[in-house]
Amino acid sequence: MSAETIALIVAAGKGERIGGDTPKQFLPLAGLSLVDHSRRALAAHPGIDRVVTVVAAGNESFVEGETAIGGATRRESVLNGLEAIGEARRVLVHDAARPIVPAAVIDRLLLALDSAKGAVPTLPVADTIARKGDALGDTVDRSALVRVQTPQAFDYAAILAAHRAWPIDEEATDDAQILRRAGHDVAIVDGDPLLDKITYPGDIALAEARLGAMMRVRTATGYDVHRLVAGERLWLGGVLIPHDKGLSGHSDADVALHAITDAVLGTIAAGDIGQHFPPSDPRWKGAESGQFLEHAASLVAAKGGTIDFVDLTIICEAPKIGPYRDTIRDRVATLLRVSREQISVKATTTERLGFTGRGEGIAAQAVVTIRI
Ligand code: CTP
Ligand code: MG
């Protein structure tokens, strides 16, 4: 028997209740689609070996990773996904519409699965629950009710058999009821409000606020120096500046972009620019430094980080940076895919002291703040 634990994310719905043209699972939340949020959270859990996302035919390229094709209802989508998996020991079935998946809930589910064929996360019902017709009807005793969330964890063979046995003309809104119909007990573990489903307009904003509150701020610095020589062009902050000297180095020697690149790498402890683009590598001879910065930014994005702010200081006696300040801000903003307001460019002399004061070189330092 396979030892694998597979997470199955269903993302083949139309998202009719939330409205709009894009199915809700593909809507962006802090720069990443809902479905990819869940996929990354599940894939990152040490107890999960593989993640398969079920999408409507034609939508395969909208999600990261492995996919299977969904059906007309959630139940059919789950069944298709279970069949596509082929072999596994345990499976977690999750709604793409629940983008935030706390690892602690997965821990509890996998533990509960040691002594049951199925386990689900639930939360108590806090509001008064009542029946309604045209007017308000009787109150329902909420102490006997729970809210059932996903991911739901199952013994793979048991849930597959239960799904296959379910009548095709009957609907089911989750998989625990399908397992119970097959005669198995379903264990209950504590759910989490962070798992709330995105169903109606407004739910996205709440999820965004919750995600924002979970993110941490990180700050890192970068510093670089290049020699000023005659006969070189002067690139500063991705902008060609007319001057009687230019910076020398293996690449275009853009000292300002190098300082920012090092700071960006620093926010994710990804080493320094020399490690990623060694001066010994002929590929980087005369290279435009913008690509170094774009690469560093892509590493931050791949880790789920967002660049918030860059503060750059260029240290030189000449040229004057002021006239180019906004052009540099715009260029750096373009490279980092942020707005001009998120880029600060300052300059200072060193009162004719030291190598910068004597015009022998230009130094730059940068502070970059990200959220991750
Ligand atoms: N789902 C699916 N295949 C379907 C229907 C639903 O994979 N045929 C998925 C949805 O993409 C969602 C999850 O099942 O991740 C829960 O369903 P729900 O919240 O009802 O999503 P939708 O059906 O897309 O939304 P609505 O009911 O508002 O149309
Ligand atoms: Mg639905």
This prediction's pTM: 0.77
295/223 same-domain check: yes
Burial class (CB in 10 A: 0-12, 13-18, 19+), 221: middle
**How many distinct structural domains can be found in the chain?**
2
Query: Which domain-ending residue is among 214, 235, 260?
Result: 214
Burial readout 28-44 (b: 16 or more C-beta within 10 A, e: otherwise): ebeebbbbbbbbbbbee
With the CA atoms of 158, 159, 165 and 170 taken in that order, what torsion angle do they form, in degrees rounded to the nearest 10? Answer: 150
Contact residues for 100 (Cβ-Cβ < 8 A; gap 6+): 37, 41, 194, 195, 207, 210, 211, 214
Domain endpoint, select from 214, 231, 263: 214
Residue 339 CA: distances (Å) to CA of 27, 149, 172, 265, 362: 21, 38, 46, 20, 26
Average pLDDT per consecutive 10 residues, the chain (372 residues; last block may be shorter): 85 95 92 92 96 97 96 97 96 97 98 98 96 95 96 98 96 96 98 96 92 91 98 97 96 97 98 95 94 97 91 98 98 97 98 97 98 90
Domain of 244, in residue numbers: 217-371
Considering the domain architecture, whether residues 341 and 204 belong to the same structural domain is answered as no
pLDDT of 299 reads 96
Distance 62 CA to ligand 1 centre (A): 16
Residues 365 and 349 in one domain: yes
DSSP for 246-258, written as a single string: EEESSS---HHHH
The reported pLDDT for the residue numbered 32 is 85
Q: Are 46 and 195 within one domain?
A: yes
* Residue-level pLDDT at 241: 98
Tokens encoding 59: 């939508």
Contact between 92 and 85 (Cβ < 8 Å):
no
**Which of 60, 75, 95, 178 most suits a substitution to test ligand 1, by most atoms within 8 Å of the C-beta?**
95
Closest ligand (CA of 10)? 1
Q: Report the separation in Å between the CA atom of 133 and the middle of ligand 1, taken as the mean of its atom positions.
A: 26
pLDDT in tens, 46-86: 999 999 999 999 999 999 999 999 999 999 999 999 999 99
Q: Is 15 in the pocket of ligand 1 (CB under 6 A)?
A: yes
Cβ proximity of 93 and 151 under 8 Å: yes
Instruction: Enumerate residues 6+ apart whose C-beta is below 8 A from 233.
Output: 240, 246, 252
Last residue of a domain, one of 199, 214, 229: 214
181, 224: one domain: no
Contact criterion met (CB below 8 Å) for 91 and 117: no
Q: HSE of 33 in the Cβ direction (CA atoms, 13 Å)?
A: 15
Instruction: Identify whether the C-beta of residue 366 lies closer than 8 Å to the C-beta of residue 312.
Output: yes
Residue 247: name the closest of 258, 234, 256 by CA: 234
Alpha helices for the chain (secondary structure H):
34-44, 74-85, 103-112, 156-165, 176-181, 203-214, 255-267, 273-276, 290-302, 325-336, 354-357
Give the strand pairing for 234-236 and 245-248: unpaired
How far is ligand 2, taken at its centre, from the CA of residue 199, in Å?
9
99 plus 180 within the same structural domain: yes
R_g of the chain computed on alpha carbons? 27
Q: Are residues 223 and 203 in the same domain?
A: no
